[in-house]
């Protein structure tokens, strides 16, 4: 496994809609394993392929799910088939170091897609997992967390990036 470089805002790949995966082969499974390693090393709870510069509709997530358990998933070609309710959790993003905002999202969803082995997957998600999935699926549509922010917050963040240079 190897660590991948995480693209940061405003790199153009983050604005790109990811292409559908046609074949879950060894190369894609290696990418998934590298994405797990990259996400864990960066202490993230989710990572989309476009964030590591790959044009693939695929994300990984690792979210606490009660007691000491965690749910670790990779979803290829995810599609939302049901969504309801509303929640707003403070979110961050590995592509936006230091940026955090609350985003209104569905509180519960059902997604369909494929797992690392190419098996069809149907997953019901609530709370944090539902938020993480919507955040990662945003990435696959070329939408970054900062696109949900007000113009004022966006400009303040861009200004803070320039200061760091």
- Which 83-122 residues touch Ni ion, going by CB under 5 A? 93
3-state DSSP helix/strand/coil % of the chain, to nearest 5: 35, 30, 35
The size of the interface with Ni ion (CB under 5 A), counted in residues, is 1
| CB of 123 vs Ni ion, minimal distance in Å | 19
Distance between CA atoms of 143 and 62, rounded to whole angstroms?
Answer: 21
Nearer to Ni ion, 76 or 138 (CB): 138
21 forms part of the interface with Ni ion (CB under 5 A): no
Alpha helices in the chain (DSSP H): 26-41, 127-140, 151-164
The question of whether 136 is a catalytic residue gets the answer: yes
To the nearest whole angstrom, how small is the minimum distance from the Cβ of residue 135 to Ni ion? 6
Give me the least distance between CB of 145 and Ni ion, in Å please. 6
Yes or no: say if 117 and 105 are a contact pair by the CB < 8 Å rule: no
Catalytic residue among 90, 91, 136, 155: 136
Reduce the DSSP state of residue 114 to 3 states and report it: strand
| Active site amino acids | 136
Where along the sequence are the contacts to Ni ion (CB under 5 A)?
Answer: 93
């Amino acid at each position: 496994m190897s660590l991948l470089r995480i693209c940061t805002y405003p790199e153009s790949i983050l604005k790109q809609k990811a292409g559908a995966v046609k074949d879950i082969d060894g190369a894609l499974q290696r990418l998934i394993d590298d994405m797990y390693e990259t996400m864990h090393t960066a202490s993230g709870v989710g990572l989309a392929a476009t964030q590591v510069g790959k044009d693939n509709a695929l994300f990984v997530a690792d979210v606490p799910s009660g007691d000491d358990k965690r749910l670790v998933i990779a979803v290829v070609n995810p599609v939302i088939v049901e969504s309801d309710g509303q929640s707003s959790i403070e979110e961050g993003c590995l592509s936006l170091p230091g940026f955090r905002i609350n985003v209104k999202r569905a509180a519960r969803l059902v997604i369909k897609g494929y797992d690392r082995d190419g098996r069809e997957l149907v997953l019901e998600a609530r709370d944090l997992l539902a938020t993480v999935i919507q955040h990662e699926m945003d990435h696959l549509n070329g939408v970054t967390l900062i696109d949900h922010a007000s113009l004022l917050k966006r400009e303040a963040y861009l200004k803070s990036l320039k200061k760091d240079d």
